[in-house]
Amino acid sequence: MKNNLKFAVIGGGSWATAIVKMLCVNLDEVCWYMRNQSAIDHIKSYKHNPNYLSSVEFDTNKLVLTNDINQAVEYADYIIFAIPSAFLNSELKNLTVDLKEKVIFSAIKGIVPETFLIVGEHFHKQYTIPYKNIGVITGPCHAEEVALERLSYLTIASGDKEKAKVMAKALEGNYIKTKISDDIIGTEYAAMLKNIYAIAAGIAHGLGYGDNFQSVIMSNAIREMKKFIRKVHKMKRNINNSAYLGDLLVTGYSVFSRNRMFGNMIGKGYTVKSAMMEMSMVAEGYYAVKSAYKLNQEYKAKTPIIDAVYEILYEGKDARSTFKKLTEKLD
């Protein structure tokens, strides 16, 4: 990797914090943008993000901290966006610096609600960034386990293999293994869809279904994901690879999964609003299910799990009766 390339991370949450931690292992300096000035001040004084993954200690000599997104974009050659998809559009409205000469990597697991586009497509169509300058960072990988320095795997997808290698080299380490993929669109859709299926798994758990049914949900989910992605972007891919099946499994089963936790609360009878307030963090799958459902009105893939989650979250249908009907559609 060329030592003169500069990297910036946009976002102040757990995934952004984990990415900054990974980059700091291999780079002399990383620019980190977050809106919260008090969090920046805390990191400067105490070397920890006060709100997310507070066990991670940073060498602040390696950090260029800013709450000005334009400063971060201007600073960097490679920019990693790691903020919830629901807030991406409003964040980009503050941008006055041109993105066209930048290499953009998305670590966002969702669809931009204003455009119904995955993040890579959003940057391509709204900011005319060529696909060769767009990439995706996906799992299977939980930020919490990066903080604990447990062995984790990342998939780096880009239309430009050399740019994917640069990003992979910047992120890899003793406990981080990286793999290159050319399936930008498929891996990004998979990262979005797995959050919906994790909500479904959580709802099932909250309703009292056991491990046997959980396995049925997951096996049906990967086949449903395959049908959906094939409709959106047909190319040769192995849906059983870690970027697809592995990411689905870790999000569907892990105790760290916000989407599973959110679904579990819905299954136990919480309203959407009360579940979100209780969690005090964003479950990307909530926003993703609406976008995926609307998109599928065009693509018409057979998606009974997505349909069931949408009916519960957006149409107010009873979770127990909806899942009882869903059990008749699964095999």
Distances (CA, A) of 93 to 87, 90, 97, 103: 10, 5, 11, 19
Instruction: Give the residue carrying structure tokens 């292992």.
Output: 25
- Spatial neighbors of 239 by CB under 8 A, at least 6 apart, are 222, 225, 226, 229, 245
Measured between alpha carbons, how far is 288 from 155 in angstroms, rounded to an integer? 21
Q: Are 89 and 114 in contact (CB under 8 A)?
A: yes
Strands (E), 107-237: 111-112, 117-118, 134-138, 152-158, 176-181
Distances (CA, A) of 8 to 72, 106, 235, 277, 323: 6, 12, 31, 30, 43
Give, as one character, the DSSP assignment of residue 48: S
Q: Are 244 and 237 in contact (CB under 8 A)?
A: yes
Active-site residue, selected from the candidate residues 161, 194, 234, 317:
194
Q: Report the candidate in 272, 282, 330, 280 with the shortest Cα–Cα distance to residue 306.
A: 330
Measured between alpha carbons, how far is 19 from 143 in angstroms, rounded to an integer? 8
Helix (H, G, I), strand (E, B) or coil at 316: coil
Catalytic residue list contains 273: no
- Spatial neighbors of 264 by CB under 8 A, at least 6 apart, are 202, 203, 205, 206
Where in the sequence numbering do the catalytic residues fall? 194
